[in-house]
Structures are given as structure tokens and as C-alpha cells.
Chains A and B, each alone.
Chain A
Amino acid sequence: MSATMNRVGLPRDAYKGAATTLCAGCGHNSITNHMIKALYELGVEPHRLAKMSGIGCSSKTPAYFVETAHGFNGVHGRMPALTTGAQLANRQLIMLGVSGDGDTASIGLGQFMHMIRRNIDCTYIIEDNGTYGLTKGQFSATADLGSVQKKGAVNTFQPIDPCAVALTLGCSFVARSFSGDGKQVVPLIKAAIAHRGTAVLDIISPCVTFNDHDGSTKSYSWVKDHEESIADVSFIPFFEEVHVDYEPGTVRDVELHDGSHIVLKKLGEDHDPTDRRAAMKVIEEGRAAGHLVTGLLYLDTTMDDFATTEHIPDRPLVELGEDELRLTKDQFAQFMSEFA
């Protein structure tokens, strides 16, 4: 039996990477699988994909999917700078960044914030486990106040919520999900890729070795008991026909830049994902109630991305030669004469 091919003629195996070296059961491995599924189903051409990361368990994962794509495992917390440069050099690339809570909320917080301010066209996934797994389980900056370390220490500091930070800075796509919820994560990853601008996707991803015990608010059991999805998420890519046959008033349908659609079926109270204040309220109310609110929190498809704002041509800068980049001899002489 031959493998099923996607729209660019590739089998699912073409989206796999090297074998993972993370712990068995790590939430990050699930997210890797969700990315493989999303990229395969979207039919992303591997040569157009740029996998970007910083340092940490999360940042190792780009080696574990789409082996033939370009990848860049850079410096701790500075993936946004590399992504900005690569994106400007070639706007045709699909920038897929994978970061962690340490990489994003501690050493890389400044970079994270300025990437959002500029609305760099990239998907920025935070594999968020609230702990420094590579250095044996210290609290990270996303660990909740009062949460308990494996050996009993209680966190005395306020958490940084990457989604709240992103919303404050005007991020054009903010979502939260859970590594164990593939039904929600996969369409969110697809929508993030289809979105033109910075798409922040904070995925709670339990660390089975250091942060999966009672007293942790990033464990499998805690998230299962406290997850509150604001809407069912479906993604309809631009190459498929839109069929929405829900009851009127029960769904929201947002068209993305490439003609794809994200369709949200409300579950409880209706959340308008284009209302930033409503998104803040949902996060705050969730926090007060001790819930992990997941889903697409906020989306703005009207904001220009950085390359557009900066008038970067569609043709990759790396392809431009002397003809396009150099002054003519006359222009040069004119320029020199201004200093005489």
C-alpha cells in the first residue's frame, strides 16, 4: 500500500526528523508530533520552512521534525533576532520558531517583546513546562506563585504569563493550548502558520521528570482537571472549500491572510477573539478561578507585519545582485559631489 501524499506530493514521513533525545513522555515530543501533522496536512514545502530555536529542551526539538528543512539552533533567548534576520533576508520562508519558558520568559524576554512589537512574520511556539528541565528542575519564570517543586520548595515569585505579555504588546495572534490536546493544538499551529505576523502559541507541556507531581500547575493531571477551552478550533486551509454547517450564532469564522479560515465553535460563554480587552478578561478570570484557559485568545488580521512595514520586497534579498543594490555610476558621482 502506498503512503498517502499531501498536496505537494509528499508522504507524512517526509516531515519526520531525527529520533528524539528527550525523556519518554515529555510533552515536547507530543508537540513535535502535532507539528509534523500540521506541516504535512498543510503541505508545507520543506525547502521553504525555516525551523528556528534558542537553547533548552524545547529548542532541541526542531531536529526532530522535517529533517530536510533548514534549521537554526542559535543562542539562548535570542531566537527572535535570528528569526528577524532570516525573515527579512527571505520573505518567502515560513519561519517556525520553537522556544521554551526559560528561553522566552527569562533570558529572552526582551527579544520576545520586541519581536511582538515589530510583528515579525513567524510562528512562535512556547513549549511551556514551568521548569528548567535541562538543569534539574528549578522554577522558571512561568511557574505559578505557590506551585511546588519536586523536592517540596514553594515558588515565591509571581509568574510571567507569555500570553498576557503578548496581548499587552499588541501581538496579532495569541493562543494557549496543552500538549496533550492535539485536537486543539494542530489547528492552532496551522492557523499560526497561515497568519501573517507574530503568532504566539503558549503550549503547556508537562516535564515528566521534574514537574509532573502534586502541587505543580504544569502537570498532566493538573491541566486535565483545570483546562477550560473557550471554543472548539477548526482550521480550513485555503486549498479546501469552506463548509460551515453549524447553527447560526454558534460559530465564529475568521479569514486569514492566505485565504484559510479559522472556525471557532463556542463552548461556554461567547468569546470574541478580535477583542483584545475580552482576551485579557478571559485570561484574568481564568487565573482568578484557577483554570487554564485554552484556545485562540486573540487575533488581528489587519496589522501589517514587519517586512511589509519596512517595505522589504517579496523577492528574497539574497537573490538581489549588483544591478538592484548598487548605485549607478551617475548616482554615485552625484552622491560624491554632495560632499565636495
Chain B
Amino acid sequence: MAEFAGLGYYAEVPVVIFDIQRIGPSTGLPTRTSQADIGFAYTLSHGDTKHLVLLPGTVEECYEFARDAFDYADRFQTPVFVLSDLDLGMNLWMTPEFKYPEKPFDRGKVLTKADLERLAGEWARYRDADGDGVPYRTLPGTDHPAAGYFTRGSGHDEHARYTESAEAYAANMDRLLRKLETARATLPAPVIDETSRSPIGLIAFGSTHAAVVEARQALAAGRRPVDYLRVRALPLSKQVEEFVSRHDRVYVVEQNRDGQVYDLIRLALPPALVGRLRSIRHYDGQPIPADAIIEPLLESEAVPA
């Protein structure tokens, strides 16, 4: 699985993978929930690899992201992981009615026979023709002598030919990073609620959302309102850093032992902001209750900084 994920990343093959997270490691508690596959999925493969990850927080978003994931995979020609969890994926939830999909499919940068004729066959599979890191591709079966190319997981030049050239390797890896930056600006933006104008912020994602909604109500009722940012995709949006910069203390709430998203956010922040982050973790296999947020938050706030 990890090898295929790496192949998809490096050979730039669109694929969508759903991970309805259960609690691990190993067989773990196979009928219990968790959010502990984030770090695993985000960099799954040997070698330098980063995947696109969607983090639906509601049943409605599971439906919408499932549809959009295929568009993102085609648009960016790369694996897309949709990370739901057992609580969201297998328990019964109320949801607004799903909306009919009006958007046409986005198949991304695919050159047809007519395109190749117009280009007189001049194209290269892994060339950054548009400066966004996303190359063009053809589909097998395209009836043009220039359509075929050799997809490989080994080192390749712009024309998909095998090479061990140091320059070609580094240039290709840098382009893949540019592609990731293009995706960062395109993937679902965080949902931000700063109406409480609080110096305290919460960051959460996925099925933790329901507990955060309840916790915020309880905290507001106790005169401790908190702002909220819900992460919906990796790589992290720039808005996460901006949110942290507008708050004195920001609690990252997640359902895993190691604070996987807390770590990812710390890595993304400038050093001056890192100290504002705190981590709230819940990892016993049960869906996170509001108390698991409220209690550690109040306890932390009671301690002088």
C-alpha cells in the first residue's frame, strides 16, 4: 500500500483513497474510533512524499468531499486521501439533505488528440508548462503518435524517460513541491468562527467537530467563549497561521495520542507563534465528548502562563 501511494505521488497518478479510521496501532480496537492515521496518510511512502488529505467533519462533508476528491485527484494528478473515522463513518447521524452535484467533472490537464495536433506533438509529460507544478498528461488509447509515454516509479526526466541525472531528479522533486503549493491554495479552506472575539482559539478537524460545537456552547455559557478554526485539508492552509497569530492561546483538539495535527501545525508556524499552541488529546477509542475538551482547556487556562 505504501509503495503504491509513493508510486502515485511520484509517477503522478490520480487516485482517491478513503480511510475510515479505527484505533490502532496494529489491529488495535477494530470496532472503535480514532483520528490517528493523519501523519501516516499524509506522508505515506518511502522517500520525500506529501499527499493531499481531505478531512470531512460532518456527514454532509463526507458526501461532498467524496465527490470533490476525484476532481482534486485529476486536477493535481496525485493520490487524495479522504480521512473519515469510525464515529462519522459507521454511526447514525442527522444530516441536511445532500445537494445534487451541479458541477461538471474536472478531469484536469488532459491533452486530447486534437490538442496534440494543435501542438504538433510538442509536449512533455512532466514539464511544468504553466508554472503551477501541474504537468499535462494524455490518456492511454489516445490516437496520436506523440500521445504515449512510459509511466515509471523510477527517476525520470520531463519526457518520462529513465534518468539518474542529479539535476533532473532535484528539478522534478521541486516541481512536485510547487504542485503541493498550488493544491494548498485550492483545497477546502478552514471554516473559521471568530464571533466570540476571544483571545483563545480552538483548532479541530473531522468528527471532533460535534464535540467542539457543544464545548463552545458550554464555555460561552460559562463566560469563557472561544473562537474556532476547523481544518479541512492537508497541506495546511495559510489561514491556520493567521488564525494562530490573532489569538494568544490556541488549543489543537484531536483524537490521537501523539497530537499529530498539533505537530504539523507547529512545524508550519514561525518560531514566534509556536508557543501559543497547546494540545488536547483524546484516545480511548470512544468518540470524543465535549467534557474532554472543556476540562483540560479550563485547567490549562487556570495556570498562569
What are the residues of chain B within 8 A of A316 when measuring CB–CB?
A: 141
Interface of A: prevailing SS: mixed
CB of A40 to closest CB in B, whole Å: 16
Q: Which of B144-152, B174-182, B289-297 contacts A (4 or more CB under 8 A)?
A: B144-152
B105 and A322 form a contact (CB under 8 A): yes
Does B7 contact A74, Cβ atoms closer than 8 Å?
A: yes
The answer, yes or no, to whether A254 is at the interface (CB within 8 Å) is no
Chain A residues within 8 Å of B100, by CB:
329, 332-333
- A321 nearest in chain B by CB position: B105
Q: Are A75 and B150 in contact (CB under 8 A)?
A: no
Chain B residues within an 8 Å CB radius of A75: 3-4, 7, 153
Say whether, besides A322-B104, A326-B101, A332-B100, A68 and B145 are in contact (CB < 8 Å). Answer: yes
Smallest CB gap from A53: residue in B: B152
Does the CB pair A73–B141 fall under 8 Å? no
A120 to B302, CA, bound (A): 65
Q: Which residues of B contact A50 (CB under 8 A)?
A: 140
- With both beta carbons as reference points, the residue of chain A lying nearest to B2 in the complex is identified as A75
Q: Distance (Å) between the CB of A108 and the closest chain B CB?
A: 12
Task: Verify if A62 is at the interface (C-beta below 8 Å from B).
Answer: yes
Residue of A nearest to B156 (CB): A73
Do B97 and A336 have beta carbons less than 8 Å apart? yes
A residues 59-79 touching B (CB-CB < 8 Å): 62-63, 67-76, 78
Which A residues are in CB contact (< 8 Å) with B161? 18
Q: Shortest distance in angstroms between B161's beta carbon and chain A's nearest beta carbon? A: 8
Out of A71, A78, A86, A322, name the residue touching B4 (CB < 8 Å).
A78
Is A92 part of the contact surface with B, judged by Cβ < 8 Å? yes
Q: A270 to nearest B CB, angstroms?
A: 42
Task: Judge whether B48 is part of the interface by a CB distance below 8 angstroms.
Answer: no
Indicate if B143 sits at the interface (CB-CB under 8 A): yes
Confirm or deny: A46 has a beta carbon within 8 angstroms of a beta carbon on chain B. yes
Are A90 and B141 in contact, CB atoms less than 8 angstroms apart? yes
Cβ contact within 8 Å between B151 and A71: yes
Within 8 A of A (CB), among B54-103: 97-98, 100-101
Contacts of A114 in B (CB 8 A): none
A7 CB contacts on chain B under 8 angstroms: none
Q: Is the CB of A47 within 8 A of B141?
A: yes
The answer to whether B140 and A70 touch across the interface, beta carbons within 8 angstroms, is yes
Docked CA distance A75–B7 (Å): 7
Task: Give the contacting residue for B148; candidates A47, A74, A86, A332; CB below 8 A.
Answer: A47
> Inside 8 A of A78's CB, which chain B residues have their CB?
3-4
Give CA–CA (A86, B140) in the complex, Å.
9
A257 contacts the other chain (CB 8 A): no
Q: What 0/1 readout, one digit per residue, does chain A (138-171) give for beta carbons within 8 Å of chain B? A: 0000000000000000000000000000000000
- Specify the chain B residue showing the minimal Cβ separation from A50: B140
A48 CA to B141 CA in the complex, in Å?
Answer: 5
Q: A318 an interface residue at 8 Å Cβ cutoff? A: yes
Counting chain B CB atoms within 10 Å of each CB, which of A78, A89, A318, A333 scores highest? A318
**Chain B, interface SS category:** loop
Report chain B residues within 8 Å CB of A72. Answer: 150-152
Residue A93 at the B interface, CB < 8 A? yes
Interface string of A307-326 (1 = CB under 8 A from B): 00000000010100110001
Q: Do the beta carbons of A70 and B7 come within 8 Å of each other?
A: no
Residues of B within 8 A of A71 (CB): 148-152
| Contact call A68/B148, Cβ cutoff below 8 A | yes
**In the complex, what residue of chain B is closest to A329 when comparing beta carbons?**
B100
A318 contacts B148, C-beta separation under 8 Å:
no
Q: Is the CB of B7 within 8 A of A93?
A: no
Which partner residue on chain A sits nearest B113 by CB separation? A47
Any A CB within 8 A of the CB of B196: no
A46–B153 Cα gap in the complex (Å)?
22
Minimum C-beta distance from A115 to chain B (A): 16
Segment 135-177 of B: residues with Cβ below 8 Å from A: 139-154, 161-162
Could you tell me which residues of chain A, from 74 to 116, have a CB within 8 Å of some CB in chain B?
A: 74-76, 78, 81, 86, 89-90, 92-93
Question: What residues of chain A lie closer than 8 Å to B145, measured between beta carbons?
Answer: 46-47, 68
Cβ of A318: which chain B residues have Cβ within 8 Å of it?
139, 141
Cβ-closest chain B residue relative to A60 = B162
Taking CB atoms and an 8 Å cut-off, the chain B residues in 4-45 that contact chain A are 4, 7
CB neighbours of B97 from chain A (8 A): 336, 340
Q: Can you report 11 residue pairs joining A to B where beta carbons are below 8 Å apart?
A: A47-B142, A51-B150, A63-B162, A68-B147, A69-B148, A73-B154, A74-B7, A75-B4, A75-B7, A321-B104, A329-B100
Interface residues of chain A, those whose CB is within 8 Å of chain B, are: 18, 45-48, 50-51, 62-63, 67-76, 78, 81, 86, 89-90, 92-93, 316, 318, 321-322, 326, 329, 332-333, 336, 340
Starting from the known contacts A73-B150, A86-B140, 13 additional A-B residue pairs (CB-CB under 8 Å) come to A46-B145, A47-B142, A48-B141, A50-B140, A62-B150, A68-B145, A70-B141, A74-B7, A76-B3, A318-B139, A321-B105, A326-B101, A332-B100
B residues touching A (Cβ–Cβ < 8 Å)?
3-4, 7, 97-98, 100-101, 104-105, 139-154, 161-162
Give the 8 A-B residue pairs with the shortest CB-CB distance, closest first: A71-B150, A70-B140, A73-B152, A72-B151, A70-B148, A75-B3, A68-B148, A69-B148
